C-alpha cells in the first residue's frame, strides 16, 4: 500500500515540476500543497475540493510563513514539510470544516482527502486557474490522478464527497459515472479493486452554503444504513 509519505512526495514533485519551468497558474498563491498525516484505511472517507488558503485564519496564521514558496528547492526541506504536517494535524483538531465528520462517521472512524492539493480560498479562482471548465489543466489532471490513486489505496468503507464541484468532477473524471447509481440503495458505486464502495455526493457540511440540519441527518442515516448492509453481506 502506498504510504502517506509517498503521496506527499508525489505532490511535492508535482509542485516542483510546475514551479521550475513555470509559469505558475495565475491567481494562485505559491503555497505548499497539502501534506497528509498518516492515513487510515478502511474508514469512511470524506472528500473535499481543496485545502483553504485563508492565511489569516487562527488555525493557519502561525504556519503561514512556512507555507509560502519562493523557490522550488524549498519543497525538499524536511523541516518545512514537518511544519506543514503540524498544520494539517492542527486543522483536523480545530478547523470547523472537520467537525461534522465525527457525527456522520460511526465511532469517529473517518479519513479525509482533497481532490486538489493546491491551496485557494475562493472556489471560482481555483476553478479558473486549474481550467476545470475546460477539462482541467495538465497540473490539475496530475493532481486528480494522485487523488484517485490514494482513494484506491485506502479502500474506504464508504466515500462522502462534501463539495458540489468535487462531486461533479469525480463523476466527469470517470471513477463514478452517473450510470453507476444504485436505484435500490440510493447511492453511487465506485468499484475499488473489484469491491463496490458506496459513494454519497453531497454539498458542504459547514459554511454559508452548508446542508440544512435535516438533509445532514438524512445523510448520516444513509451512511449508517449502507455500512450495516455491507456488514451483513461480509
pLDDT values of the chain reduced to their tens digit, one per residue, 234 residues: 678 999 999 999 999 999 998 889 988 999 999 999 999 999 999 999 999 989 999 999 999 999 999 999 999 999 999 999 999 999 999 999 999 999 999 889 999 999 999 999 999 999 999 999 999 999 999 999 999 999 999 999 999 999 999 999 999 888 888 789 999 999 999 999 888 999 999 998 988 788 899 999 999 999 999 999 877 655
Q: Which ranges of the chain would DSSP assign to H, the alpha helix? A: 4-19, 58-61, 64-67, 78-94, 99-104, 123-129, 138-154, 164-172, 213-233
What pLDDT, on a 0 to 100 scale, did the predictor assign at position 178? 79
What pLDDT, on a 0 to 100 scale, did the predictor assign at position 144? 97
Question: Residue 149: which residues within 8 A CB-CB, separation 6 or more?
Answer: 2, 7
Tell me the per-residue pLDDT of 67-94, one tens digit each, with 9 for 90 and over.
999 999 999 999 999 999 999 999 999 9
What pLDDT, on a 0 to 100 scale, did the predictor assign at position 92? 93
What pLDDT, on a 0 to 100 scale, did the predictor assign at position 233? 54
Instruction: For residues 136 and 65, give the distance between their C-alpha atoms in angstroms, rounded to a whole number.
Output: 29
Sheet with 158-162, edge to edge strand ranges: 110-114, 44-48, 158-162, 195-202, 187-192, 181-182
Give the Cβ contact number of residue 24 at 10 Å. Answer: 15
What pLDDT, on a 0 to 100 scale, did the predictor assign at position 220? 94
Amino acid at each position: 500500500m502506498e504510504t502517506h509519505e509517498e503521496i506527499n512526495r508525489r505532490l511535492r514533485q508535482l509542485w516542483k515540476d510546475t514551479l521550475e519551468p513555470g509559469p505558475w497558474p495565475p491567481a494562485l498563491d505559491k503555497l505548499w500543497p497539502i501534506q497528509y498525516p498518516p492515513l487510515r484505511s478502511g474508514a469512511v472517507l470524506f472528500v473535499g475540493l481543496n485545502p483553504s488558503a485563508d492565511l489569516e485564519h487562527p488555525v493557519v496564521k502561525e504556519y503561514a510563513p512556512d507555507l509560502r514558496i519562493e523557490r522550488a528547492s524549498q519543497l525538499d526541506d524536511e523541516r518545512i514539510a514537518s511544519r506543514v504536517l503540524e498544520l494539517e494535524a492542527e486543522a483536523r483538531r480545530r478547523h470547523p470544516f472537520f467537525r461534522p465528520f465525527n457525527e456522520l462517521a460511526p465511532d469517529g472512524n473517518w479519513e479525509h482527502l482533497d481532490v486538489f492539493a493546491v491551496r485557494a480560498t475562493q472556489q471560482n479562482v481555483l476553478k479558473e486557474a486549474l481550467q476545470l471548465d475546460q477539462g482541467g489543466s495538465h497540473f490539475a489532471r496530475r493532481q486528480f490522478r494522485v487523488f484517485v490513486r490514494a482513494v484506491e489505496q485506502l479502500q474506504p468503507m464508504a466515500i462522502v464527497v462534501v463539495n458540489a464541484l468535487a462531486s461533479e468532477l469525480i463523476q466527469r473524471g470517470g471513477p463514478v459515472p452517473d450510470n453507476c447509481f444504485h436505484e435500490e440503495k440510493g447511492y453511487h458505486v465506485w468499484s475499488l479493486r473489484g469491491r463496490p464502495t458506496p459513494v454519497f455526493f453531497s454539498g458542504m457540511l459547514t459554511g454559508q452554503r452548508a446542508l440544512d440540519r435535516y438533509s445532514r441527518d438524512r445523510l448520516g442515516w444513509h451512511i449508517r444504513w449502507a455500512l450495516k448492509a455491507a456488514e451483513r453481506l461480509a
